[in-house]
Amino acid sequence: MHSGDHMAEHVKIYEEKKRGLPVWAWLLPLLLLLALLAYFLLHRQTAATATTSAATPAAVGTAAFPDLGTVHFATDQATLTPEGTATLQQAATAMKSNPNAHLRLEGYTDNTGTSPHNDTLSDQRAKTVVDFLTAQGIDRSRLTGQGFGDAKPVDTNATAQGKADNRRVELFSQQ
């Protein structure tokens, strides 16, 4: 064997060993790894964005706005109960701590009485809540109220407790 043939033989063996793995055999796992990495990075970014947007009120210096609950009324009345007064005092405090917050007030009745009477009574209940909050120093422009009569019961009107639950003004924060 000539030295040139010997050299050609080594080159041929080296080229055969070099071709041992096809390109797709190492490229496919690499592409899968990149796809997984991209998925987790995007998922992490979406979760971080959701956390950031949920924390935005605190980030701009306002306290978290509490669940204000509901103010309940006696049958055919638009005057505040002691419990309703306490709820509205908490609402006034929260409104003062959150100067950009607005409240939407929705008044309701049970099904006792005529529909026109219940519409008027639910408006009066919403107005009672607005008047109380403005007396506590909350600007009227931050409050919107409306009565809906017996349109949206939260409980049955077949029991005394159900009727009591339906005589209410609901407070909805709008920041």
DSSP state of 57: H
Domain that holds residue 161: 70-174
The answer as to whether 62 is a domain residue is no
Relative orientation angle of helices 115-135 and 82-97, to the nearest 10 degrees:
50
- Residue 44's pLDDT is 64
The answer as to whether 59 is a domain residue is no
Sign for the pseudo-dihedral over CA of 127, 129, 135, 138: negative
Out of 24-28, 67-71, 93-97, least confident range: 24-28
The answer as to whether 135 is a domain residue is yes
Residues in Cβ contact with 68 at an 8 Å cutoff, skipping those fewer than 6 apart = 87, 90, 91, 94, 103, 171, 173
State whether 82 and 168 are in the same domain.
yes
The answer as to whether 63 is a domain residue is no
pLDDT, tens digit (0-9, with 9 covering 90-100), for 36-90: 777 777 766 554 444 444 433 333 334 556 677 899 999 999 999 999 999 999 9
pLDDT, tens digit (0-9, with 9 covering 90-100), for 143-156: 999 999 999 999 99
- Residue 77's pLDDT is 93
Virtual CA dihedral for 103, 89, 155, 102, nearest 10 degrees?
Answer: 0
- Residue 32's pLDDT is 78
State whether 39 and 80 are in the same domain.
no
State whether 32 and 99 are in the same domain.
no
State whether 28 and 99 are in the same domain.
no
The answer as to whether 112 is a domain residue is yes
State whether 170 and 103 are in the same domain.
yes
Separation between Cα atoms, residue 73 and residue 146, nearest integer Å: 16
